Amino acid sequence: MQVESFRVFRDLVETRSFSRSASLNGITQSAVSQQLRSIEVRLRVPLLERTSKQFALTREGQLLYEASREIIGYYQRFQHQLEEMRNIISGTIRLVAVPSLGLHELPPYIKDFLKAFPQVKIQVDYRRSNEVYESVASGDADVGFVAFPSPRKGLKVETFKKDTLHIICAAGHPLLKKGPVDLANLGQTKIISLAPEMPTRQGLDRILATRGLKFQPMMEFDNVETLKQAVEINAGIAFLPASAVATELAKGSLAILPHLGKEIIRPLGIVFRASRMVSPAVKRFLKALKTPRESASVPTPEPIAPSSL
């Protein structure tokens, strides 16, 4: 049996999906089925419960899965150690991020990293927060990025940066003439917000609640881009990071409304698998993320479109 066969079987078990295992290994779904049958013929044992409605391993299948994890682990460690000995930083890094981070926070880090390691390719995919965790857990992505990170079983979740949620309003909003506002006095002001199920909205609500505040938004949106467009047409004010509206702030269509009291801090998290070896390229990228950057909190707007990576 070849190493690739062990990898395909491991991915099949961990994703419980022939199609996802095929995608991870760059082969067709039928090729995954063929490899599974080939292994069963070679070992002369069934690996999957054919009568089960759910994905289930036989005892032999469970044994092979555990062996596959160890074999792939040893092989990856060997590859990574060999690359480090030869000082080779190459390959592809697969990132998955919520759109606000992927479009507005990551580009400066990616740009600096690719300048230092031009042989590395970086792919960025955009997902909702819960899908970011799932993509990393399943192996579809090497590293994930979320706002207000939370612990997840089998994953390492670390805060790599903290940014500030500002009150963003349309240029010329009447409140801009009154100086710093008291958050407690915003009850009569039209407020628009992200949808209740989104982590940034949930985190904001928790922070405001600790200050004895609770706002009822006039409108709610499921993405930052639509939200800030609504603010531009003066539909209301919103709490957003400056990086997400850097272009609009620069051209003067939006403004930051200063407020009294403590800043509203939004932690940004890195997500990666706790049980899988990472390549030298991923290791270097994680290190770069944890290295402080000048003016990283409000980067020059340089969004990377999903199709270009």
| Co-location of 196 and 234 in the same domain | yes
Cα 299 → chain centroid? 18
The answer, yes or no, to whether residue 74 has pLDDT greater than 80, is no
The answer, yes or no, to whether residue 194 has pLDDT greater than 50, is yes
Task: Report angle CA 242, 266, 222 to the nearest 5 degrees.
Answer: 75
| Co-location of 8 and 59 in the same domain | yes
Number of compact structural domains in the chain: 3
- Please report, for the domain that includes residue 15, its CATH number: 1.10.10.10
Evaluate whether 25 touches 7 at the Cβ level (below 8 Å).
yes
The answer, yes or no, to whether residue 300 has pLDDT greater than 80, is no
Q: List pLDDT tens digits, range 221-237.
A: 998 999 999 999 999 99
| Co-location of 243 and 274 in the same domain | no
Residue type at 163?
D
Residue type at 108?
P
Residue 175's pLDDT band, with cuts at 50, 70 and 90, is very high
| Co-location of 166 and 257 in the same domain | yes
| Co-location of 32 and 126 in the same domain | no
Percent of the chain residues past pLDDT 90, beyond the cut: 47
Residue 90's contacts (CB-CB under 8 Å, 6 or more residues apart) are: 83, 117, 119, 120, 281
Q: Of 91, 102, 257, 251, which Cα lies nearest the Cα of 165?
A: 257
Q: List pLDDT tens digits, range 92-121.
A: 899 999 998 998 889 999 999 999 889 899
Count of H helices and E strands in the chain?
Answer: 11, 9
Place of tokens 């991923």: 282
| Co-location of 230 and 168 in the same domain | yes
Structure tokens at 148: 């207000």
Evaluate whether 130 touches 215 at the Cβ level (below 8 Å).
no
Asked whether the whole model's pTM tops 0.75, one would answer no
In angstroms, the CA 100 to CA 242 distance is 11
- Please report, for the domain that includes residue 273, its CATH number: 3.40.190.10
Of 53, 85, 117, the residue at which a domain comes to its end is 85
Percent of the chain residues past pLDDT 70, beyond the cut: 88
b/e per residue 127-136 (b: at least 16 CB within 10 A): bbbebbbbbb
- β-partners of residue 158 are 270
Residue 285 is part of which domain span? 91-161+267-308
| Co-location of 34 and 166 in the same domain | no
DSSP character string of 234-282? TS-BEEEEGGGGHHHHHHTSEEEE-BSSS-EEEEEEEEEESSS---HHH
Evaluate whether 135 touches 141 at the Cβ level (below 8 Å).
yes
The answer, yes or no, to whether residue 307 has pLDDT greater than 60, is no
In angstroms, the CA 260 to CA 215 distance is 17
Of 28, 57, 85, the residue at which a domain comes to its end is 85
Grouping H, G, I as helix, E, B as strand and the rest as coil, residue 129 is helix
| Co-location of 101 and 194 in the same domain | no
| Co-location of 291 and 208 in the same domain | no
Whole-number Cα distances in Å, 280 to 137, 181, 210, 212, 285: 20, 48, 42, 47, 9
pLDDT of residue 305: 35
Of 38, 70, 85, the residue at which a domain comes to its end is 85
Q: Of 219, 212, 215, 171, which Cα lies nearest the Cα of 193?
A: 219
Whole-number Cα distances in Å, 3 to 6, 39, 80, 179: 5, 12, 15, 65
The answer, yes or no, to whether residue 213 has pLDDT greater than 50, is yes
Least confident of 213-222, 235-244, 294-303: 294-303
Average pLDDT over residues 211-220: 92
Least confident of 46-60, 62-76, 192-206, 283-297: 283-297
pLDDT of residue 90: 77
**Mean pLDDT for all residues in the chain:** 85
Q: List pLDDT tens digits, range 138-163.
A: 888 899 999 999 999 889 999 988 99
